[in-house]
Amino acid sequence: MKKSTLLFLATLVAAVVARADGKLVIKGSDTLGAKLVPQLAEAYKAKNPGVSFEIAAEGSTTGIAAIIDGTAQIGMSSRRAKPTEMSAGTAKGVTLKPTIVAFDGIGIIVSAANPLAKLTQRQVEQIFAGDIADWSAVGGTPGKISIYTRNTSSGTYSDFKALAMKNRDYASSSQKMAGNEQIAAEVAKNPSGIGYVGLAYINDPGVKVVAVDGKTPTPATVLDHSYPYARPTFYYTNGEPTGEAAKFLEFTLSDEGQKIVRDVGFVSPPKS
């Protein structure tokens, strides 16, 4: 038998062993990975004691990249894969397959001390793009607006640009935060602050959600797409998932999994 054949078989066996130990590697979106997926993992482990999880929530970009590189079985993403990512996957023999696991609404939050209650879509775009820099321009208490956004590896960062800003750039003065919780915390202590967070974080202490064109993010407005900043969130896999990844995906979409989805603050996708 040739050396190369032996090497291939050894690699195959090692791979099978790695999967057989029941470890599930999940990487990607902070929106999904900060609260929802860890809770799903805990519930899943309770029913499947032999399974362990490695969860890294460092942004959707890292999740999709991990599927392309083969370093994770599930990539969490709060945005769709870009054509260049699709192309990169194809080049490596990877077919990026999205599965909707929950819906989210990106809520616009301000400090609870801020009297502002509503904005228009145009005003949201102008504030985050830097065209409007003072609260008085949108009917608020005069003062410089402090903008908090996610960092550039975040799916929410690019989703918000697409959904709310016509893909314009954020104001150069905007401050980039690592996660939803950080944004909520900063806005809570800054009466001049404004930011955006996923549905799961709109009730964080010290912040309040602002209506956009008269709509606030609720399960109903997210599902019927009437809230302008609603979006699906995904598990990305390499083609149809197999093994533990398939089982975990199935669990996520089950009634038990979707109850956790709702409890955390997301919206369950409608049943087909």
The pair of structure tokens assigned to 25 is 């590697």
CB 149 within 8 A of CB 176: yes
Nearer CB in complex with other proteins: 40/96 = 96
CB 202 within 8 A of CB 217: yes
CB 65 within 8 A of CB 229: no
Instruction: Of 257, 217, 261, 233, give the one whose Cα is nearest residue 98.
Output: 233
Nearer CB in complex with other proteins: 163/187 = 163
Determine, following the binding rule CB under 8 A, whether residue 169 of this chain makes contact with other proteins: yes
Nearer CB in complex with other proteins: 47/82 = 82
Choose which of 39, 48, 52, 99 interacts with other proteins (CB under 8 A). Answer: 99
Burial of 115 (0-12, 13-18, 19+ CB in 10 A): exposed
**230-238 vs 96-105, strand pairing mode:** antiparallel
Determine, following the binding rule CB under 8 A, whether residue 83 of this chain makes contact with other proteins: yes
Determine, following the binding rule CB under 8 A, whether residue 22 of this chain makes contact with other proteins: no
The pair of structure tokens assigned to 4 is 């190369």
Region binding other proteins by CB under 8 A among candidate stretches 13-21, 58-66, 75-83, 190-198: 75-83
Please give the size of the binding site for other proteins, defined by CB under 8 A.
27
Determine, following the binding rule CB under 8 A, whether residue 269 of this chain makes contact with other proteins: yes
Q: Which residues within the stretch 101-120 sit at the binding site for other proteins (CB under 8 A)? A: 103
**Chain residues in the site for other proteins (CB under 8 A):** 80-87, 90, 95-100, 103, 158, 161, 167-169, 225, 232, 234, 269-270, 272
